[in-house]
């Protein structure tokens, strides 16, 4: 494969804006390789949790999360 002088700078995270049923902003979620961040609408700072801690919480029975078919 040839060596290129230029390359794409891939993002280090994925970010999505969450909207309610009427199109109003609820907040932003940012997913990184090692953490999940949440910023409610109108706030300037994120709440952060490690991916390991998030995985433990989301799969616990006390979370009430349901498995999906996808």
43-56: pLDDT as tens digits: 999 999 999 999 99
Report domain extents, the chain. Answer: 14-61
Q: Cα separation of 66 and 27, whole Å?
A: 22
pLDDT in tens, 23-40: 999 999 999 999 999 999
Q: By the 8 A CB rule, do 28 and 35 touch?
A: no
pTM of the model: 0.76
């Amino acid at each position: 494969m040839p060596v290129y002088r230029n390359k794409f700078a891939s993002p280090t995270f994925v970010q999505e804006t969450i909207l309610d049923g009427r199109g109003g902003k609820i907040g932003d979620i940012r997913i990184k390789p090692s953490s999940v961040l949440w910023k409610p609408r109108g706030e300037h700072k994120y709440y952060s949790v490690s991916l390991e801690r998030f995985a433990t919480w989301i799969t616990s029975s006390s979370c009430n999360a349901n498995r999906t078919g996808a």
